[in-house]
């Protein structure tokens, strides 16, 4: 049985961070204000928005509410960048060539790993 531990590329994480920035700016908020609302440092917030730190589920819900985005929509978008394979299994890749290529590459890489590694 294959190990499907997927290493998401930095590019995917970076795109997720870009989405966070766009959503924050659309809400008219500054990163420092969002950091204060979440109870995190400005450096931590910067890392979230640069894709260096994963967005925990609790933050997804808080950010969605703060940015005025429906929680399900925001969570779906975050999942797209955090775990593209799971996203593809849930929602499909039809019409999203970039996602299709990403998922294919991740699955091929996972197939090449020895089990349990």
pLDDT at 112: 56
pLDDT at 61: 94
What domains lie within the chain, and their CATH numbers? 10-82 (1.10.260.40)
Weakest-pLDDT range from 21-35, 49-63, 102-116 = 102-116
Q: What is the pTM of this model?
A: 0.77
pLDDT class for 87, splitting at 50, 70, 90? confident
Return contacts of 9-15, CB within 8 angstroms, 24+ apart. Answer: 9/102, 10/51, 12/51, 12/81, 12/82, 12/84, 12/102, 13/51, 13/52, 13/54, 13/81, 13/82, 14/50, 14/51, 15/51, 15/81
DSSP 8-state assignment for residue 28: T
Is-contact 37 66, C-beta < 8 A? yes
Per-residue pLDDT of 21-35, as tens digits, reads 999 999 999 999 999
């Amino acid at each position: 049985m294959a190990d499907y531990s997927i290493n998401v590329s930095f590019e995917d994480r970076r795109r997720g961070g870009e989405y966070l920035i766009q959503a924050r700016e659309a809400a008219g908020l500054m990163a420092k204000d969002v950091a204060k609302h979440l109870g995190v440092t400005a450096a931590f917030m910067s890392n979230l928005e640069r894709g260096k730190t994963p967005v925990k589920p609790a933050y997804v819900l808080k950010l969605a509410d703060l940015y005025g985005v429906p929680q399900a929509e925001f969570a779906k978008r975050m999942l797209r960048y955090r775990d593209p394979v799971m996203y593809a299994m849930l929602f499909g890749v039809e019409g999203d060539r970039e996602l299709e290529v990403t998922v294919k590459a991740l699955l091929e890489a996972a197939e090449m790993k020895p089990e349990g590694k």
